[in-house]
Structure 1
Amino acid sequence: MRKSRWFQAGWPPLVVVILLLLVWQLAVTWGGTASWLLPSPLKILRDGTTDMPRVWMHTWATLKLMLLGFGVGSAIGLMVACVLHRMPFVKAGFYPLLILSQNIPVIAIGPLLVILLGFGILPKLVLISLVCFFPVTMSTLDGLTQTDRSMLSYMHMIGASSRQIFYKLELPHALPFLFTGLKISATYSVMGAVIAEWLGGNVGLGYYMILQKSAFRADREFVAIGIIVILSLLFFWCIAGLEKLVIRWQTKRSS
């Protein structure tokens, strides 16, 4: 019992990370590697603390951008999934195009959006929304098509309309799938925000990384990478916590 709780607490990955950081610190210290080429974890932490006011400014800008893009992209993804499920003829025409759209690299779409929409927030918002909407659309659509057939037959038998079936049976059944897509999009939104800031802008972690690359400050590059990882994890955990609050029946069933 104690062993299972220890594993459920998430300690093993934390121990591995600590060991890797320790090996990294010792390798840099004893190997005599130049700090500008490969800084030690302690130097990265020290420099991040020193530059914290500016880092926080860029982090806040990225956070606002990713939340806005995540909200827009997820809302569009949910609406698209509902429309495709309710209109099979529309799904037959657009579903292959959705799959095909994911073969276009995000970094290739960015410059085109800048040309079409300018250097403001709009191209960044569109880019993040494009990254976020696909996982939500596909996960929700998968959940809508996997509704319990016995319950579906029962709803038809008692004379429920297609609208009642959708809102009372299919959509609630698809909620776990929806949250799976939301958790994937949560991590993608951070990546999309950073890529959008690479392509244009004067604030954000992506812009901060470009500045540090020009200055050959590898330590501050690692600071930005660490913050990006932390943002992704925190956002993922927030969506996972919201899932437990919304889908109480699933939690009880799994326990």
Structure 2
Amino acid sequence: MNILIDESLGIRLPTEYKSYDFQWNEKDFPIRKSGHSLKTIASDQKNKRLSTSVQYRLYTTEAEVEHMTSKVDVEVPLYYFYDPQTTDDQKLQRIKQWLIPHYRLHYIKSSPYQAKTLSQIEQLVRLSSTDDGELTRSEERLLILTPKVKPFIKTKKRFKMFPTKEYKTFKLIEKTSDKWEIHDVGKWETLFARMMKFSELSKHEGWMTYAGLHPFKEDAPPDNLTVVESSDTMLPGNLPHIQLYLPISILRLNKGEGRTS
């Protein structure tokens, strides 16, 4: 099995994933300005005083086909976790149906929230073995701890790189249905302790991603929690945050082809 993932999702695989039998590749973010990359922009922006917008362009059909054919084998299925905000969904379907129909392509529309996407990837590599299929969606809880809320919940605010700075005040928010609810405001350590109570109440596995903060610097995380530091390429960039994703029922891999939204 091969996995291709958009760089802008900021996913960094846990070391224990190396025991699974799959190939992992990242698809570069299409920066509009030539000679630049998400990594260089993130690095350059750390010492700046103001945030900057990250301008991008959509890949052409020819470039998309090149990505797919260079990363996939006719005999091996390719699961592409794509960023729906930077990738043309209809173009992907045309590529699959018209240009390279003999390849076993499976598109999975990813969430911009790393903790949730990481859970989907882990369930996929665990359960796929030799069967193709699609991931089913479970009920879920998603919490985010961050000093700036809008870049995480507003699409137009997401594509920014921020300067590195110390923040004294953070917010703990949770997605409920189609809305976001603010649970509390304060120091990140206090809010993190409250976040962990949600994890303790969960009877299933949970996934946590973080950047700019060290949630388990002294203590080990609970056994039911997979904790991974986000990649420097994630958007929004350089903002300290902790994300916690708790599916109420474990994701399953069903036989049959399809696409997860």
Give TM-score scaled by structure 2 length.
Answer: 0.24
Kindly indicate which of the two structures has a greater share of residues assigned to strand: 2
Give TM-score scaled by structure 1 length.
Answer: 0.25
Kindly indicate which of the two structures has a greater share of residues assigned to helix: 1
